[in-house]
Amino acid sequence: MKIKHPILKLVLSCLGLTSTCVIASPVFPNNNKVQTSNISSKTPGTILSIQEENTGLFTNASQRFLITYRSRGVQSEPIVTSGYLLLPKAKVPQGGWPVLVWAHGTTGVADTCAPSGDYAGGPVHVYQQIAAKALNAWLARGYAVIAPDYQGLGTPGGHPYMNAQSQLHTVVDAVRATHHLQPYKFSKNWYVMGHSQGGAASLKVAADGQKDAPEFNLRGAIALAPGGYQYEVLEYVASNPQITTDVAAFFPIVLLGAEAADPGLAPANLVSPDMGVILNSARNRCLSELQSDLKAAPKTVFKPNVDLTHLTNYLKKQSIENMTPSVPLLIVQGDKDQLVDYRGTYAYYQQVCKNQKPIAFHPVKNGDHRDSLRQSEFLIGSFINSVEQGKTINTCNSK
């Protein structure tokens, strides 16, 4: 069997499908149920495999490791999650390196879309080049960076795209995994930063991360163009009868992600024949590939008179409006973003202001969806300094 995806190959090597495993760990057979039973006794964050790779795009990293670790899924079930860990060049300070968890943006739901498996010319490489500049800024400040792929990207099972609980688990358990890496020493202080899909993950972590991992000290969260404000699917389709190709590429990812979390949703039974073709393609193609493939958007998204109640109820449960941060929060949003509506992000910001939580909002003038990520490297310094110095973080009266 030829396995192209490096992280999936690494996982399968530790499942007993290939001949080598990088570290001593239990060998799992090729059976997801047996695999789950074997890892259920391990604590969340336990590293299952580790492999050192070239630092590549991460020029401020001294080392880069591909890892798999034990995490928790949508229903808190034991799962294997992949990701990569970057160590800074700075000497270890007293108390250990502080940690940043990077929650990446939308790449797709196929295994080949896992950022840890990125390669030059690959389907997520352009995005990784932009993300690397932002992460290099954290490395330069002496932070260790761990970047989970989320549930089901590069590992067995489907990817429950935008499922709030799953994303919370894989991010928090990534912090735990960092502390399992010996002989290195890490601080219990950590931040989370995410873009788009990862922006929503950051907001969920800002709300519940400290409660989910009380053994660590979540200092703050940064959400860049966070998706997921009020999933009004029917309203969107009704007000935008002719969707763009970019939106058409996102729709099947949202639907397949919902199906991975709740198989009863069965999106193939909901969408029009034209969207069904894109839906099937999205099972094996990444977002960038779908966007390149699509020459024209489908004329219709859903079948006529289809009942979307189940889908709408599920998506609304994942909405960021349900998340109230418990730590200082920075939101960065481009005002010309065509994929995450500025108005939705600003409405969420106002909601947090009403709850009198520490929050700063930074609009990027004429900024598109990725400009919030590009600008982050210039904004993190003042935010971190304010948090660490105990300064008030609040722009509610100035926006």
Domain co-membership, 39 together with 94: yes
Contacts of residue 343, Cβ cutoff 8 Å, sequence gap at least 6: none
Domain co-membership, 163 together with 91: yes
Domain co-membership, 153 together with 26: yes
Domain membership flag for residue 39? yes
Domain that holds residue 110: 6-229+328-388
Q: Is the pLDDT of residue 28 over 80?
A: no
Q: What is the CATH number of the domain that holds 221?
A: 3.40.50.1820
Domain co-membership, 32 together with 89: yes
Distance CA 14, CA 293 (A): 35
Q: Is the pLDDT of residue 7 over 80?
A: no
Residue range 47-74, pLDDT digits in tens:
999 999 999 999 999 999 999 999 999 9
Average of per-residue pLDDT values in the chain: 90
Domain membership flag for residue 216? yes
Question: Which of 270, 285, 318 delimits the end of a domain?
Answer: 318
pLDDT at 37: 54
* 9-13, 157-161, 179-183: range with highest mean pLDDT: 157-161
Residue range 137-169, pLDDT digits in tens:
999 999 999 999 999 999 999 999 999 999 999
Question: Which of 295, 318, 341 delimits the end of a domain?
Answer: 318
pLDDT at 136: 98
pLDDT at 278: 97
pLDDT at 275: 96
Domain membership flag for residue 394? no
Domain co-membership, 258 together with 116: no
As for how many domains the chain has, the answer is: 2
Confidence class of residue 10 from pLDDT cuts 50, 70 and 90?
very low
Domain co-membership, 147 together with 50: yes
* pTM, 2 dp: 0.90
Q: Is the pLDDT of residue 355 over 90?
A: yes
Q: Is the pLDDT of residue 244 over 80?
A: yes
* 9-13, 32-36, 65-69: range with highest mean pLDDT: 65-69
Domain co-membership, 213 together with 289: no
Domain co-membership, 333 together with 281: no
Domain co-membership, 264 together with 302: yes
pLDDT at 234: 66
pLDDT at 222: 99
Spatial CA neighbour of 105 closest among 353, 352, 371, 354: 371
Contacts of residue 126, Cβ cutoff 8 Å, sequence gap at least 6: 288
Domain membership flag for residue 107? yes
Domain co-membership, 191 together with 90: yes
Domain membership flag for residue 323? no
pLDDT at 397: 84
Contacts of residue 336, Cβ cutoff 8 Å, sequence gap at least 6: 342, 366, 367, 368
Helix (H) or strand (E) holding 68: strand 61-72
Domain co-membership, 80 together with 202: yes
Q: Is the pLDDT of residue 27 over 80?
A: no
Domain co-membership, 38 together with 158: yes
Please report, rounded to a whole number, the percentage of residues in the chain having pLDDT higher than 70. 90
Contacts of residue 116, Cβ cutoff 8 Å, sequence gap at least 6: 6, 7, 66, 82, 83, 84, 147, 149, 154
Q: How far from 219 is each of 101, 103, 190, 194, 298, CA to CA, in Å?
A: 12, 16, 6, 15, 44
Domain membership flag for residue 66? yes
Question: Which of 276, 293, 318 delimits the end of a domain?
Answer: 318
